[in-house]
Structure 1
Amino acid sequence: MEIQMALYLPRDAVSVPVTRQVLDRCMETLGVTSDTRADIALALSEACANVIQHAARGAEYEVRVGVRNCQCVIEVVSAGSRGGGHGGEHLAGLAVVNGPVPATAEHGRGLKIIDAVADNVQLRPNERRGATVHFEKTLVWLPDAPGRHLLAGDRGRLNPSA
């Protein structure tokens, strides 16, 4: 079984805390530990802030979340770049997450933060002439977490009549 969610949002700074809170409540309901949820919230905030800063004005963006087994996969997908070019053009300095970011750097810190708290961090151009920030996080469950049972197909423990 897999749990999926997609949010379609305006490119507006107000959408960042809303998105973070929606995903956090979902993870809390599934029974993900608070430390894991905090890492996801931080990475998601940085990825959404990247869209707010770099995507084309007025463009919408999409947040895709998938949970399968103990893995949460998140993609933040923007449409267009602020400079009007193809999405891949503005990725040259951002795609490299490894290595130091100078203290005076204007860009690149968000991806370093995502890389510090998540796995398989990728930044790539997409078909919408924008960029996709992809990252994954291994979920740590609370004892008797509903999400663990749902994903394992163990619905009997959640069924009140069982």
Structure 2
Amino acid sequence: MRVSMTLSLPRQPSSVTRARQVLTTLLSLTDAAEDSRNHLAVLITEACANAVLHGDVDSVVDITIVIDDGVCLLEVGNRGSTPTDAALDAALPAPLTVGGRGLPLIAALADSAAFVAGPPDRVLLRITKHLMEVRTPPSR
């Protein structure tokens, strides 16, 4: 099954919730396991929150969701610039009471995540996650 959707949401905090709700709805059409769904909810939340927080003031948050053949692709973009220290690794910052946990969480939960080159005034984060399928117990 292939499911895809593209959204352009305003750069405001409520768009993070809307993006997560759309992704959750699309995932409900699949056989993805609950762990995969939960990881993807965190991934889209963190990616969209970063776009809202760091995007240019009059930018929109562009989101593409593609679920195809057991893989979910998320692309979250906005107008702005890629952070110079945008290391996508799983090392959490210290202390944990300050910001900066979004990219490490994305790195820890995604199968791959990278800022993709594009026009100079655009930021695009591409995330892929392989979906674990719900296992049905063997029939007796």
Contact 2:90 2:108 in 1 (8 A): no
The count of residues paired between Structure 1 and Structure 2 equals 135
Q: Distance in 1 between matches of 2:118 and 2:99?
A: 20
Shift of 1:9: 0.4
Q: Distance in 2 between matches of 1:43 and 1:117?
A: 7
Q: Distance in 2 between matches of 1:115 and 1:66?
A: 19
Shift of 1:101: 4.2
Q: Distance in 2 between matches of 1:102 and 1:19?
A: 26
Query: What amino acid sits opposite 2:91 in the alignment?
Result: P
Instruction: Give the fraction of aligned pairs with identical amino acids, expressed as a percent.
Output: 27
Shift of 1:46: 0.2
Larger radius of gyration: 1
Aligned residue for 1:6, secondary structure, equals: strand
Shift of 1:137: 0.6
Matched, 1:117 2:109: yes
Q: Distance in 1 between matches of 2:118 and 2:17?
A: 24
Q: Distance in 1 between matches of 2:13 and 2:118?
A: 22
Query: What amino acid sits opposite 1:67 in the alignment?
Result: I
Across the aligned residues of Structure 1 and Structure 2, the Cα RMSD in angstroms comes to 2.1
- Provide TM-score, normalisation by structure 1: 0.74
Q: Distance in 1 between matches of 2:117 and 2:9?
A: 19
5+ unaligned residues in a row in structure 2: which ranges? Answer: none
- Provide TM-score, normalisation by structure 2: 0.85
5+ unaligned residues in a row in structure 1: which ranges? Answer: 82-86, 145-162
Contact 1:93 1:108 in 2 (8 A): no
Shift of 1:29: 2.1
Question: Any idea what the Cα deviations from partners look like across 1:112-144, whole Å, max 9, x if unmatched?
Answer: 001111111102453261211111111122358
Q: Provide closer, same or farther for how the CA distance between residues 141 and 52 of structure 1 changes in structure 2, counting only shifts above 3 A.
A: same
Map of 1:154 onto structure 2: none
Q: Provide closer, same or farther for how the CA distance between residues 38 and 99 of structure 1 changes in structure 2, counting only shifts above 3 A.
A: closer
Q: Distance in 1 between matches of 2:17 and 2:63?
A: 13
Map of 1:139 onto structure 2: 131
Greater fraction helix: 1
Greater alpha carbon shift after TM alignment, 49-58 vs 121-130: 121-130
Map of 1:126 onto structure 2: 118
Q: Provide closer, same or farther for how the CA distance between residues 45 and 99 of structure 1 changes in structure 2, counting only shifts above 3 A.
A: closer
Query: What amino acid sits opposite 1:44 in the alignment?
Result: I
Aligned residue for 1:30, secondary structure, equals: coil
Map of 1:65 onto structure 2: 65
Aligned residue for 1:36, secondary structure, equals: helix
